[in-house]
Structure 1
Amino acid sequence: MPALVALRLGFSALWIVAFAYAITETFDFPSISGMYPRVAAALGLILAAVTFAVDLWKWRRGRDVLGSEVSISASAALAAEDEHGVRRAFLRAARYALWLVALMASFWLVGVVAGAGLFVLAFLLVESKAHWILLVAGPLATMGLLMLLANSMNLFWPESLITLVP
């Protein structure tokens, strides 16, 4: 199995495990508040499983899993099977996996609402180098949407280490 195909399958498998774990965690939420994260995690699990199955099926049938040279995708750009291409693909995947770890850590440290706002701010600063208006509007819109969702559905977010937003 080519290294880039293994990376792609491994990434999908990692998402399958993460979403399955998220589903099991939602059963500890009180009453209806676990419904939204459970449905979101179930949809993510389904998409990750379909991606994994399709990629595995294509690889077993001898088709190009990473895309053809004609398609415009990140995988196609990394399709060269040299050591540099594999290293670059792994580093790119690791970088975005670290962003997801940072998101989960921010949820744990400061709570879902404040953590999401801080995450959006950091992501916009580092990855997109956004204009200052977006740096202000993005986190505020994210936090506002989560607060609206929480108030309209009577959601209770999990406890955090430090409470910034009640």
Structure 2
Amino acid sequence: MAVGFWRTGPAIVYSYTGTAAAQEMLGYAQGGVDIDISKNYKEIFSDVFGEMTPHELQDFGEVATITCPLISIDPAVLTKVLNRGNRGAAGQLNTPGRLVGTNGDDFAIGIAASDDTPWKFLHCVLRPNARIPMSVGNKPVNLTFFAWPFAPASTVSAVNTPLYTRAL
């Protein structure tokens, strides 16, 4: 019986935050990046199976969480990632209720690993956190991104809306 191994190795993480959404190197993850793609299913219950077992599942697309423990980072690009939106200065809030995708506050994230086909998530935000260590030791900057398949409000069907591609 054959056994398969999944090894991606180190990864370079890019954000598309440059002029005209140009690719910029955000940082380097020595131990790779974690990608968690979640299917959004709603359980539909009926009397046939009762209230604990769904009779059917309704598909509501996919989202992804990308966790990047970066051991080397470009501070200027990190500043761009941290300060998206219409805030006046770093550390200030955006307008509460602001629509992120509609206003172009999202950005793409690209991941190039040494032993894998690249990934590019087209619409991302930094969420839920950016853990930036303040220490004398060598600790990674941990960035977690949320990716979703954005479509303008005028869209009438979401079929074939991309969450990611396998090319940078």
TM > 0.5 fold call: no
Task: Compare relative contact order (CA 8 Å, sep 6+) and give the higher one, 1 or 2.
Answer: 2
Return the TM-score normalized by structure 2.
0.19
Which structure carries more strand by proportion? 2
